[in-house]
A and B are shown apart, each in its own frame.
Chain A
Amino acid sequence: MSERQRALGGAAIVGTLLAAAVLGSLLGSPLWARALRATVIDSAIVITVGLVVGLSFGFVAGSGVRSLDTALGRAVEITAALPAPLLAAALLQASGRFYVAAAGLGLLKAIEFAWLLRSRLTAERERLRLADQSKARLPFSVYYRRALPRALGSSVVSLALAPVWISLIDIAAVALGAAPFSNRISLGTAAARGSAVAVLTVAALTLGLHALAQYFPARFPAEDEDDDEPLPLALRRPSRPPEASS
């Protein structure tokens, strides 16, 4: 199956599920549609916050700004020690709104996404610098046009896995007995109470998003392999005088 076909399949799955959620709402909100709608909205918030905050933060940190890189490292260390269901439950308790909890989880996801992006960008930077063989600082546009698309491809997968991530947090929160989750209706809480349909829906939604996430970033790196485009000055191999052999 080609990437294009897979992406089309993914789009069809996501589209069908979204249509089912909307239709379910219009037809009097059966439980499954309400759960699906809650998970879709939460996933959308998480993906949006993760993409907006994580992309900008990870890009700047990965392009060599030391202070942001350090701050990102500390943020990762702090959030790594924080069980996500507790964060969600506390935000839910404080605000009474699931959207706020989803935004908080989105920040957690943003840190994860930024860290992955920064790691891949650092690797790409090393690759470009090795190709260049010079110690000169690479221009910003090089990261933007060449390193970022390559790094983005695999990092964006973490965002595509948002529905399963959110559902797992819901399940863990229900298992832990976090009080604010007792009244929540979502695919995760339904799965925690033994709903096989909810498990399959989460898997289908994630598969669809993953197929889309695999396809779109894969379009960008082609630019990198375009030999006709002249390399920026910093990437041109310097003409060195031949060294005298000892």
Chain B
Amino acid sequence: MRRAVRRLTWILLSLGLMTVVAFALLSELLPGESDGRAPPRFLNFAPRNVRDLSHAAVERLARGPDPAASSELARLGGAALPFLLPNLERLEPVTRERVALALAPVAVRMGAAKADELSSGPDAVSFWVRFWQDRSVDFRESVVRRLVTRLGERSLALRREDVVALDTYALPALIDALGRVNTKEDVMRVRRLTIVLAHVGGQPLIVDKNGSVEQARQVVQQWRRFWAENGADFSALDGPHRVAAMVKETAYGRWLGSVLRGELGRTTDGRLGLVLLRASISGSLLRFAAIAILGTLLGALAAYWSRRQGSFARLLDSSIVLAALPVLALLAPLGPRAGWLATAMLVLWQAALVAAHTPRARLETAPRFSAELLPALALLAPAAPLLLSLVLGLECMLGLHGLGAELRGALERGDLHAAMAVAVGCAVLAAAGMLLSDAAGSVVARLDERGQTP
């Protein structure tokens, strides 16, 4: 039992390492779009955060009017206020007015002012100076958490306004408060929170008034996905959070986050990686298992008979002709209807390969099938990359539904997450093959030991 647990742990660790290697290779193969917002692959020494983004926007506004910087400040909203307003009066007068005017949509969203009250630069500056003198005490984590908890408990207009007045500063607490959805009360709580979230976050993701538990779960999932992709823009990232963000705010970190959320990434056509995998793995699994298991058994059986029958040994030697053929090239004309026939040909090819690896040394004891099976099973693990490639290639060549077709589609579209889902599928197939080979190996070894005992 202990050995099995240790083996499983190692396999899981290897799977983790494999995802790193596969991500490195696939992101090299599918570089994707480089629109400037794409994070680095594995390590981000300057993770995006609200402090840096807001300061960068202020610097751009200091150089001159910049609509993009203004809309960036409006997008960052309340989360940027603790970094902008304390230093507002230290800015150059022109820059100060530009920043104050850029923040005007935030004040409107917060319900703190009307648009026409902030139409001129001096008015906007005096409004924000007064606002920070009155309300700076509310922009603290403990305060916002308390307000959000109260909102989750009961829906009152006043409680809602309290949270709305903090704007995007309340986003982390609101996302945390979504929690799990199991009962009707949870649905109501999530509805209350998502109304505020939709207003503050600018996403139309609200649970309906008579929404079901399932719908509420979906909405929560969508908000979590939004937060995983954009959360860093509304977070300050201090201390350990900054260190964690160096990994989390990377392409791999985001993909891993989606794995932990049970999504396995999101393809460019909007499907979840897990859905893609579920739909396509069964055919590939059957083909891989058939080729690996039947091929190994047939190869070991042929080796066993060759020990017993001298004439069969010569036949076995000539089986290398089959192993020497690039059999995949011969399967192409078969077409999609000949999927199982092609698989059977690959089984024979694998059997010939196993037989080709069989030692031809003279035996000191009588031949035993179990003794031939052990080296054949040992061959299974290192042969897995080729077997997987054969299965994927076969599916593409014959147009069969499976991981190969999905991988081809992913390579054509440049879809990294779809390709990663296929890579995870391959890893699962390989891990299953190895566990099977290990289990079969230990059973066969025991049988072999028992067979040797007089």
Contact = CB atoms under 8 A, between A and B. Distances in A.
B36 interface: no
Interface string A79-98: 11111111101110110000
Nearest to A85: B389
Contacts of B330: 199
Nearest to A167: B326
B358 interface: yes
Nearest to B392: A83
B378 A81 contact: no
Interface in A171-207: 171-172, 175-180, 187-188, 191-192, 194, 198-199, 202-203, 206-207
Contacts of A168: 326-328, 386, 389-390, 393
Given A168-B390, A172-B328, A202-B326, A80 B359 contact: no
A165 B386 CA distance: 8
B343 to A, nearest CB: 15
Given A116-B379, A116-B382, A83 B431 contact: no
A94 B26 CA distance: 11
B426 A83 contact: yes
Contacts of B392: 83, 85, 172, 175-176
Nearest to B329: A191
Could you tell me the dominant secondary structure of chain A's interface residues?
helix
A63 to B, nearest CB: 17
B326 A176 contact: no
A156 B209 CA distance: 70
B134 interface: no
Given A90-B28, A165-B386, A78 B325 contact: no
Interface string A143-158: 0000000100111011
Interface in A57-102: 73-74, 76-87, 89-91, 93-94
B359 A154 contact: yes
A125 interface: no
Interface in B373-389: 374-375, 378-379, 381-386, 388-389
Nearest to B15: A81
B28 A177 contact: no
A203 B15 CA distance: 35
B412 A203 contact: no
Given A86-B25, A172-B392, A81 B18 contact: yes
Contacts of A165: 386
Contacts of A188: 326, 329
Nearest to A200: B325
A73 B374 CA distance: 17
B354 to A, nearest CB: 11
Interface stretch (B181-189, B200-208, B215-223, B403-411): B403-411
A192 B333 CA distance: 11
B324 A176 contact: no
Interface in B1-45: 10-11, 13-15, 17-18, 21-22, 24-26, 28-29
A120 interface: yes
A45 interface: no
B423 interface: yes
Interface in B387-421: 388-390, 392-394, 396-397, 404, 407-408, 411-412, 419
A115 B15 CA distance: 19
Contacts of A206: 323-324
Nearest to B388: A83
A178 B29 contact: yes
A165 B390 CA distance: 10
Contacts of A115: 378, 381-382
Contact of B326 (A82, A164, A218): A164
A91 B408 CA distance: 18
Contacts of A46: none
A89 B31 CA distance: 13
Contact of A93 (B28, B321, B361, B397): B28
Contacts of B396: 172, 175-177
B423 A81 contact: yes
A1 to B, nearest CB: 9
A80 B374 CA distance: 19
Interface string A202-236: 11001100100010001001000000000000000
B430 A81 contact: yes
Contact of A80 (B326, B329, B378, B384): B384
Contact of B434 (A80, A161, A221): A80
A164 B325 contact: yes
* Residue with the greatest number of chain A CB neighbours at <10 A, chosen from B385, B419, B434: B385
Contact of B22 (A82, A84, A178): A82
Contacts of B353: 161
A119 interface: yes
A112 B411 CA distance: 27
B357 A85 contact: no
B385 A84 contact: yes
Which 6 pairs, one residue from A and one from B, show the smallest C-beta to C-beta distance?
A172-B393, A81-B427, A112-B382, A191-B329, A80-B384, A77-B14
16 contacts: A74-B17, A76-B381, A80-B381, A81-B431, A90-B29, A157-B356, A161-B324, A164-B326, A167-B326, A168-B393, A172-B389, A177-B408, A192-B332, A194-B332, A194-B333, A207-B320
Given A74-B17, A112-B382, A191-B329, 19 more contacts: A77-B381, A79-B382, A81-B15, A82-B25, A85-B393, A86-B423, A115-B378, A154-B360, A157-B356, A161-B324, A161-B353, A168-B326, A171-B329, A172-B392, A175-B328, A175-B394, A175-B397, A188-B329, A203-B321
Interface of B: 10-11, 13-15, 17-18, 21-22, 24-26, 28-29, 320-321, 323-330, 332-333, 353, 356-361, 374-375, 378-379, 381-386, 388-390, 392-394, 396-397, 404, 407-408, 411-412, 419, 423, 426-427, 429-431, 433-434
Interface of A: 73-74, 76-87, 89-91, 93-94, 108, 111-113, 115-116, 119-120, 123, 150, 153-155, 157-158, 161, 164-165, 167-169, 171-172, 175-180, 187-188, 191-192, 194, 198-199, 202-203, 206-207, 210, 214, 218, 221
